[in-house]
Structure 1
């Protein structure tokens, strides 16, 4: 599978080839900050098949937080592009909203951090859900 994407203003573009490691939705409070209050839909791919094809993102990792992830986003328009997590080393976690064709997501295979879900979040029935990160 080949997937392409980028930011809203077009300054940063990427592509990835490979099979998804997971398609998931996260309700953690950190993801809510970066999505504007909603859960975070993402597809994780092996990092080996990923590359930026135009521009470069800005990266941010919160200091003093155990297991902090690195979030990469466009410095021009602010679009969240991807996350790199020590818990999923060797993978790139792409934000569904940054995909050229978000329909490749389909639906999540699992839902995480439901203990942090807000009353206005929808957690679909029939999908494996975890109160906290599985592990």
Structure 2
């Protein structure tokens, strides 16, 4: 499978040449801040499968785990492109909004529900984690 997309202004483009290792909706406080109060929606890909063209800006913070989480975004329009943990540099967590509308991706689980506001609603069909779940299993080597 392949995926592609661009930021709101078209300055940053993305191509992904593999399937996601997992998809998640994240309610951690940092994600709420970068997503205007709601969760982020993310697809986790092997870093080598993700090709990005255009200039990115980045910012980071120290997570509860002690790892540095860095988010990358278009400096012109602010579109979130991907996030990456210092503990998992082999993975890129691509924001759904960066992918084409026809990507067909949907969250498989909801994480950091302990940080969600009281008004948040969770799909009862999805697996839920009160905080950080284990990393997705590695993809089979082809």
Fold agreement, TM-score > 0.5: yes
CA contact (8 A) 1:96 1:102 kept: no
* 1:21 aligned partner: 21
Give the C-alpha shift of residue 67 in structure 1.
Answer: 1.0
Q: Give the whole-Å Cα distance in 2 for the aligned partners of 1:123 and 1:64.
A: 23
- The 1:88–1:102 alpha-carbon spacing in structure 2 relative to 1, beyond 3 Å, is farther
* 2:98 aligned partner: 98
Structure richer in helix, relative to its length: 1
CA contact (8 A) 1:27 1:112 kept: yes
CA contact (8 A) 2:43 2:96 kept: yes
Between Structure 1 and Structure 2, how many residues are aligned? 133
- Mapping of residues 31-110 of structure 1, within 5 Å: 31-52=31-52, 54-62=53-61, 66-101=66-101, 103-105=103-105, 107-110=106-109
Residue 9 of structure 1 aligns to a residue whose secondary structure is coil
- Runs (4 or more) in structure 1 with deviation over 6 Å come to none
TM-score for the superposition, normalised by structure 2: 0.86
Q: Give the whole-Å Cα distance in 2 for the aligned partners of 1:29 and 1:64.
A: 10
CA contact (8 A) 2:27 2:116 kept: yes
**Alignment RMSD, CA only?**
1.7
Residue 33 of structure 1 aligns to a residue whose secondary structure is helix
> Which consecutive unaligned segments of at least 5 residues does structure 1 have?
none
